[in-house]
């Protein structure tokens, strides 16, 4: 008779595995980027999130994605209400994210999570990274609420901030106002300069009066509105008579409910039937003279909006990183127990190579993601111009590269579970669908590449990146690491020369190599960070993991930069056979 225990061994899954304690690489990044006191303080919070995500949130996600939101447009008397109804499972996910772990508020509100002062960005994103391994949909509203607060904090007047920030950063659900960004339109998509929504001064309004009254009304259609039932919406509109393109756009805050308790003048036409993030309500909206507040400088609306966009781009990168990590964990857990051809799948050489391939993708992308938020934290704390320029290029590099690798990893991991990976009761189909959207949201790949090109041309951010990479590589001293660091320096010099040559080409031809160059800049950033980590571990002696990170760095280098002439998977390097357990378990690899 086959018992439940027998079936669990035959068809294993990750149930009961704490996502944080099972991820030494995440703990490593926290230890490296936080003070000793902050690291110790974060441990308990992250461990608790790892447990909640792997159990309660994972269960809720299955329900919330199967029984998604429903739009109720009219009440029983035929009055327009446009109410989005969610399954209780989704509301419980909201409560966990916003209230239990204060993810949207903790970097703005002092004392959240019992933290002295404001929580560091690294800890906030680590919490999101763990939560998104269970459920991605609810973190779109979390990220936009976070990013809307950031945009107002930087561009709104002090009275305006006092009015709206407390609700955006509330840590009680009954006090919270969620944020959203209604940006794209049918005719524009990523070409925001084609925005056709019109902003008109409200009749009879005196602009010398109280600026905390909505003095504009907006008319137009918005095509892709995630968290469509949000309380506060940031959007772009063109004041009548303003010039075409992005320069003519103003930035406006649209409340769902007006001060007198009535609904604002916009309708939700329908909810999108999306491939993924099915727990999340994304809709199409028409603004019928919706009352709106002007945010910041009327002539700098698009520039101010990028504050929100850039933060949600980092969130998109972390969403894909979370899907990669969960997919790898599912594949590793499954293949270590599932027996085929006389032994566990993970003992077969091809499977070991495939697993380690996914491992280096996850650790490489994690290095890039957490470096980006470490720079974000420095920008917030100190505001140094060089860090600002670094953040300006690391953000799109992360947004471009990590979601693209996320597509690869989630598909590969699904395949490793065989037919089970294709079944909806397992996490893999949801992870795959939810990861794909991060390539599209906040700018598809080509849009991100063009953004990098603009930043390089206008702000010289490539010089800041290459200088940072060169300085860090030249600072390495370990005799094992230095020769490889020199090879990477040669690669950096070559790519920097190619970037500098782009202005010599005509505008059309200059675009052709951009995707490859942006990808290579991300890869060279990752290998630099991995080599730095490798030296740190080598120098720790018996307290470190020896050559483990060094092997990860070498495998990444051979996978993406110094590729075997017969193809990246054509070499017969036995590293994945000789050190498989140490690599996937984060155990020490002896130096000799």
Domain edges within the chain = 178-299, 459-568
- Candidates 219, 210, 283; CA nearest to 254 is 219
Q: What is the pLDDT of residue 544?
A: 87
Q: What is the pLDDT of residue 450?
A: 96
State pLDDT tens for residues 187-242. Answer: 877 889 899 999 999 987 655 445 578 899 999 999 999 999 999 999 999 999 99
Provide the token pair at 370: 């957490």
Alpha-carbon distance of 133 to 465, in angstroms, equals: 30
Collapsed DSSP state (helix, strand, coil) of residue 231: coil
Q: What is the pLDDT of residue 340?
A: 93
Alpha-carbon distance of 22 to 346, in angstroms, equals: 18
Q: What is the pLDDT of residue 208?
A: 46
State pLDDT tens for residues 105-148. Answer: 999 999 999 999 999 999 999 999 999 999 999 999 999 999 99
Q: What is the pLDDT of residue 414?
A: 98
Contact 333, 9 (CB under 8 A): no
Q: What is the pLDDT of residue 190?
A: 81
Indicate if the pLDDT at residue 326 is higher than 50: yes
State pLDDT tens for residues 245-262. Answer: 999 999 999 999 999 999
Alpha-carbon distance of 199 to 236, in angstroms, equals: 9
CATH of domain 178-299: 2.40.110.20
Indicate if the pLDDT at residue 401 is higher than 80: yes
Contact 301, 236 (CB under 8 A): yes
**pTM to 2 decimals?**
0.96
- Beta-strand relationship, 216-226 and 250-255: unpaired
Indicate if the pLDDT at residue 447 is higher than 50: yes
Collapsed DSSP state (helix, strand, coil) of residue 279: coil
Q: What is the mean pLDDT of residues 140-158?
A: 96
């Amino acid at each position: 008779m086959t018992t439940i225990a027998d079936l669990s061994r035959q068809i294993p899954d990750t149930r009961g595995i704490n996502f944080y304690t099972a991820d030494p690489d995440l703990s490593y990044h926290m230890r490296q980027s936080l003070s000793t006191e902050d690291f110790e303080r974060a441990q308990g919070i992250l461990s608790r999130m790892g447990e909640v995500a792997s159990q309660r949130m994972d269960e809720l996600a299955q329900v919330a994605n199967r029984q998604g939101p429903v739009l109720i447009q009219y009440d029983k008397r035929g009055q327009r209400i446009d109410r989005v109804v969610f399954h209780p499972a989704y509301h419980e996910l909201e409560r966990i994210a916003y209230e239990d772990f204060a993810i949207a508020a903790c970097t703005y509100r002092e004392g959240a999570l019992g933290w002295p002062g404001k929580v560091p960005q690294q800890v906030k994103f680590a919490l999101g990274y763990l939560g998104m391994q269970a459920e991605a949909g609810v973190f779109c509203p979390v990220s936009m609420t976070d990013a809307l607060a950031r945009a107002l904090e930087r561009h709104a007047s002090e009275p305006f901030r006092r009015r709206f920030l407390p609700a955006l950063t509330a840590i009680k659900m009954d006090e919270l106002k969620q944020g959203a960004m209604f940006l794209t339109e049918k005719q524009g998509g990523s070409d925001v300069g084609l925005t056709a929504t019109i902003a008109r001064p409200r009749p009879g309004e005196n602009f010398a009066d109280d600026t905390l009254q909505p003095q504009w009304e907006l008319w137009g259609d918005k095509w892709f509105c995630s968290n469509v039932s949000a309380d506060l919406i940031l959007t772009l509109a063109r004041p009548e008579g303003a010039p075409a393109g992005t320069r003519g756009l103003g930035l406006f805050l649209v409340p769902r409910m007006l001060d007198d308790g009535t609904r604002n003048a916009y309708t939700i036409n329908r909810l999108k039937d999306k491939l993924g993030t099915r727990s999340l309500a994304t809709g199409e909206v028409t603004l019928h003279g919706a009352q709106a507040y002007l945010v910041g400088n009327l002539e700098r609306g698009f520039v101010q909006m990028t504050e929100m966009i850039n933060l949600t781009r980092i969130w998109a990168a972390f969403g894909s990183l979370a899907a990669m990590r969960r997919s790898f964990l599912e594949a590793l857990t499954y293949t270590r127990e599932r027996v085929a051809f006389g032994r566990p799948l993970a003992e077969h050489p091809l499977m070991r190579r495939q697993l380690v391939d996914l491992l280096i993708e996850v650790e490489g992308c994690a290095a890039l993601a957490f470096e980006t938020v470490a720079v974000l934290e420095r920008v917030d704390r100190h505001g140094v111009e060089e860090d600002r320029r670094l953040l300006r290029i690391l953000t799109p590099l992360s947004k471009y590269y990590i979601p693209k690798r996320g597509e690869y990893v989630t598909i590969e991991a699904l395949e490793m579970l065989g037919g089970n990976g294709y079944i909806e009761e397992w996490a893999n189909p949801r992870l795959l669908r939810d990861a794909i959207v991060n390539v599209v949201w906040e700018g598809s790949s080509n849009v991100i590449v063009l953004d990098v090109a603009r930043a390089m041309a206008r702000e010289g951010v490539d010089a800041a990146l290459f200088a940072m990479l060169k300085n860090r590589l030249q600072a390495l001293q370990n005799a094992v690491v230095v020769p490889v660091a020199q090879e990477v320096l040669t690669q950096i010099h070559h790519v920097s020369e190619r970037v500098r040559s782009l202005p010599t080409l005509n505008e059309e031809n200059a675009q052709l190599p951009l995707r490859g160059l942006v990808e290579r800049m991300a890869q060279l950033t990752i290998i630099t960070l991995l080599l730095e980590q490798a030296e740190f571990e080598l120098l720790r002696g018996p307290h470190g993991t020896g050559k483990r990170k060094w092997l990860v760095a070498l495998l990444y280098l051979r996978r993406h930069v110094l590729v075997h002439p017969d193809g990246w998977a054509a070499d017969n390097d036995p590293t994945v056979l000789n050190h498989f357990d140490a690599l996937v378990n984060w155990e020490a690899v002896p130096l000799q």
